[in-house]
């Protein structure tokens, strides 16, 4: 067996580099998981605010005696989009929020104050 030392060292360096990359990836995953776990209160607060915006949108729509279909057609979105906004699954864009406030006969500022 005549294996040269540089060949052995080259293989060792490659394995060492792969091990270093794996260790770095594990560290990054652990850091990301810790950050996610620590952000629980922030995620709960965001959920509460989103839900409140949805409730405000639904309350104003029902106050105006409008259906989701009518609102959707009036501002040029799908009925499913209106449903998602009201359930808190998603938030309307700024332009859609302004259109909703206009349709409901209130200012966007007053609509957003209901959320606070």
Asked whether residue 57 falls in the same domain as residue 77, the answer is yes
Asked whether residue 45 falls in the same domain as residue 26, the answer is no
Asked whether residue 22 falls in the same domain as residue 59, the answer is no
Supply the range of the domain harboring residue 14.
Answer: 1-38
Asked whether residue 83 falls in the same domain as residue 50, the answer is yes
Residue 7 confidence (pLDDT): 66
Mean pLDDT, the chain, whole residue set: 89
Asked whether residue 51 falls in the same domain as residue 26, the answer is no
Would you say residue 3 has pLDDT above 70?
no
C-alpha dihedral sign at 21, 27, 30, 36: negative
Residue 33 confidence (pLDDT): 95
Percent of the chain at pLDDT above 70? 88
Q: Name which residue leads in pLDDT, 80 or 2.
A: 80
Q: How confident is the model at residue 5 (pLDDT cuts 50, 70, 90)?
A: low
Helices (H), the chain: 5-38, 40-63, 68-75, 79-87, 94-104, 108-115
CB proximity list for 65: less than 8 A, separation 6 or greater: none
Asked whether residue 90 falls in the same domain as residue 76, the answer is yes
Residue 107 phi, psi dihedral angles, 5° rounding = -80, 155
Would you say residue 6 has pLDDT above 70?
no
Q: Name which residue leads in pLDDT, 116 or 17.
A: 17
Q: Rounded CA gap, 29 and 26, in Å?
A: 5
State the CATH number of the domain containing residue 104: 1.10.260.40
| Domain total of the chain | 2
Asked whether residue 16 falls in the same domain as residue 55, the answer is no
Using one digit for the tens of pLDDT, what is the confidence trace for 64-91? 999 999 999 999 999 999 999 999 899 9
Using one digit for the tens of pLDDT, what is the confidence trace for 47-67? 666 667 899 999 999 999 999
């Amino acid at each position: 067996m005549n294996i040269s030392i540089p060949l052995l060292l080259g293989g060792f360096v490659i394995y060492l580099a792969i091990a270093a990359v794996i260790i770095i990836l594990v560290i990054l995953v652990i850091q990301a998981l810790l950050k996610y776990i620590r952000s629980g209160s922030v995620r709960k607060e965001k959920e509460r605010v989103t839900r409140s915006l949805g409730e405000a949108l639904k309350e104003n729509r029902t106050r105006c005696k409008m259906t989701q279909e009518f609102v959707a057609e009036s501002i040029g979105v799908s009925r499913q989009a209106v449903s998602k906004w009201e359930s808190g699954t998603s938030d309307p864009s700024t332009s859609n929020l302004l259109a909703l406030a206009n349709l409901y006969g209130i200012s966007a500022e007053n609509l957003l104050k209901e959320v606070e």
